[in-house]
């Protein structure tokens, strides 16, 4: 990568000033614990999708500081020579635990934990957050859109409206993981194997003497992948009749069938019904109808409720930018400091804004599944060394409204935070993008439909173990 975009400098500047201070105060090697978590689900939904871990792994695996970067920091006139030398010889040695990509997650849960020397852990903040925040946001939005399509294919079409090159590629990756069938982004296909596809723009049709000639030329070039854009002039009076003529006169003699027709404007519900009727009568019941044009989950849901005859949706700007909710809101907070004897001192941040109060300690996150139905019951945040005995009933309680209890039995408790790095060495076998997508769709199937509603979803329970709750409660009282 061009040194101008060296990711080791993609930091909020305070990370360098604090790290320099840690070094000068002799605290640079002090072992600390940071959690990544988020406080609110985008679009007031019932769940979010954790995404972006693979890019975090790539970043941490290659983290170093070039001589050019060290010299740039020296030019700021703020940093000690000892700290600059530390950066020059930097070697990543932290432990990292994370929830696998594609896992449904909920507010307040640790989705990634860093344990390591204070300087290192502090310098990771910005890159970890921007990576997880962006891809989790897009994956969460894509999941909503895919569910609205109710089994119909959704393709990500937003590269030209994305917030930069990286956002277009990583956004397309996240959308695919969450259930989209493919993307228009060719680079994402090359890098991550996300199926790319596309046909024509209106300019193709406009560049020929007539609409029919444009369709015929395209069909001759792509007889087994023929999808025609039929709304350049008039869908029902021009586009569709010319498409059917092309199918009859060009594709049929070649022994081929059309794949689809596509519209990108107009009343797509009304037009799809009309198009379906005409295609069926013309002998093309297998020709699919694809639509695009500023779609989101609500428009798609309404189209289907109104009987639209649509097989495929192309969704662009409202997906790739998560236009309705543009921030995921993940944060990176200190939760513990380790003494030389290995004892962990819990740390808490308190705020008058209750949702900003952090949960201290080195933790594990469990998901309880019913052995009877296979569905997810609740999540439980525990101390790291707590073990759940599945042979015994477990009492879950609301950490805020503590009188609300639920005793669960005949359950399976799955630990979600997996070791990724141990002392800086990668110990996690990252799955392929396709494997992450399959895992994501499987995990979503374990959530009740009530949790997945668009509006007023059922609140999924995220509880604390009694030991963790007591530590947090005691810290609140102390402070």
Per-residue model confidence as pLDDT tens digits over 123-180? 999 999 999 999 999 999 999 999 999 999 999 999 999 999 999 999 999 999 999 9
d(CA 327, CA 474): 33
d(CA 24, CA 83): 8
| Chosen CATH of 139-320 out of 3.30.565.10, 3.40.1010.10, 3.20.20.70, 3.40.640.10 | 3.20.20.70
* pLDDT averaged over 10-residue windows placed end to end, the chain, 479 residues: 72 98 97 98 97 98 96 98 98 98 98 98 98 98 98 97 97 98 98 96 98 98 98 98 98 98 96 98 98 95 97 97 95 97 96 92 98 98 97 95 94 98 98 98 98 96 97 94
d(CA 419, CA 428): 7
Annotated domain spans of the chain? 3-123+329-364+415-478, 139-320
Q: Are 360 and 471 contacting, i.e. CB atoms less than 8 angstroms apart?
A: yes
Question: Which of 214, 197, 210, 192 is CA-nearest to residue 54?
Answer: 192
Return the residue matching tokens 């002090």: 30
Q: Which residues pair with 406 in a beta bridge?
A: 396
Q: Which residues pair with 213 in a beta bridge?
A: none
Task: Tally Cβ neighbours within 10 Å of residue 217.
Answer: 16
Strands (E), 189-311: 227-229, 260-263, 288-291
Q: 3-state class of 48 per DSSP?
A: strand
E strand or H helix that includes residue 169: helix 165-177
Return the residue matching tokens 């990724």: 420
Q: Is the pTM of this model over 0.75?
A: yes
Q: Are 136 and 51 contacting, i.e. CB atoms less than 8 angstroms apart?
A: yes
pLDDT at residue 4 in the model: 54
Dihedral sign computed on CA atoms, order 303, 309, 310, 311: positive
pLDDT at residue 355 in the model: 87
Q: 3-state class of 395 per DSSP?
A: strand
pLDDT at residue 2 in the model: 46
d(CA 20, CA 183): 44
Say how far residue 95 (Cα) sits from the centre of its chain: 23
d(CA 373, CA 96): 33
E strand or H helix that includes residue 390: none
Return the residue matching tokens 């409660």: 473
Q: Are 211 and 233 contacting, i.e. CB atoms less than 8 angstroms apart?
A: yes
Length of the chain: 479
Task: Just give the CATH number of 3-123+329-364+415-478.
Answer: 3.20.140.10
Return the residue matching tokens 């790319």: 196
């Amino acid at each position: 990568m061009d040194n101008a975009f060296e990711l080791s400098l993609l930091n909020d500047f305070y990370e360098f000033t604090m790290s320099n201070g840690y070094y000068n105060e002799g605290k640079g090697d002090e072992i600390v614990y940071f959690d990544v978590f988020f406080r609110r689900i985008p679009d007031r939904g019932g769940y979010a999708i954790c995404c972006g871990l693979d890019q975090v792994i790539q970043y941490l695996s290659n983290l170093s500081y070039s001589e050019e970067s060290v010299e740039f920091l020296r030019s700021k006139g703020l940093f000690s020579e000892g700290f600059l030398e530390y950066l020059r010889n930097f070697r990543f040695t932290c432990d990292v635990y994370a929830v696998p990509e594609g896992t449904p997650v909920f507010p307040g849960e640790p989705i990634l934990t860093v344990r390591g020397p204070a300087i290192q852990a502090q310098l990771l903040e910005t890159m970890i957050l921007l990576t997880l925040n962006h891809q989790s946001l897009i994956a969460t939005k894509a999941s909503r859109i895919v569910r609205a399509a109710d089994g119909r294919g959704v393709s990500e079409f937003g590269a030209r409206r994305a917030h930069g090159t990286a956002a277009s590629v990583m956004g397309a990756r996240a959308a695919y993981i969450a259930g989209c069938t493919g993307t228009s982004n060719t680079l994402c296909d090359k890098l991550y194997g996300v199926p790319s596809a596309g046909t024509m723009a209106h300019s193709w049709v406009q560049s020929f003497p007539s609409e029919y000639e444009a369709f015929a030329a395209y069909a001759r070039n792509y007889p087994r992948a023929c999808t025609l854009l039929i709304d350049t002039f008039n869908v029902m009076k021009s586009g569709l009749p010319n498409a059917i003529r092309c199918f009859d006169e060009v594709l049929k003699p070649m022994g081929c069938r059309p794949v689809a027709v596509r519209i990108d404007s107009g009343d797509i519900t009304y037009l799809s019904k009309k198009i379906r009727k005409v295609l069926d009568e013309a002998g093309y019941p297998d020709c699919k109808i694809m639509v695009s044009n500023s779609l989101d989950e609500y428009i798609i849901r309404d189209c289907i409720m109104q009987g639209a005859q649509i097989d495929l949706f192309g969704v662009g700007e409202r997906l790739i930018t998560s236009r309705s909710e543009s921030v995921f809101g993940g944060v990176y907070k200190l939760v513990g400091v380790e003494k030389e004897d290995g004892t962990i001192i819990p740390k808490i941040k308190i705020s008058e804004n209750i949702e900003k109060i952090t949960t201290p300690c080195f933790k594990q996150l469990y998901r309880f599944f019913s052995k009877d139905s296979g569905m997810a019951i609740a999540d439980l945040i525990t101390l790291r060394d707590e073990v759940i005995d599945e042979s015994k009933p477990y009492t879950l309680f609301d950490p805020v409204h503590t009188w609300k209890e639920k005793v669960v039995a005949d359950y399976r408790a799955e630990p979600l935070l997996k070791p990724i790095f141990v002392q800086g060495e990668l110990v996690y076998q990252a799955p392929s993008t396709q494997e992450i997508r399959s895992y994501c769709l499987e995990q979503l199937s374990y959530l009740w439909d009530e949790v997945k509603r668009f509006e007023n979803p059922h609140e999924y329970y995220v509880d604390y173990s009694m030991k963790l709750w007591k530590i947090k409660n005691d810290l609140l009282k102390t402070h």
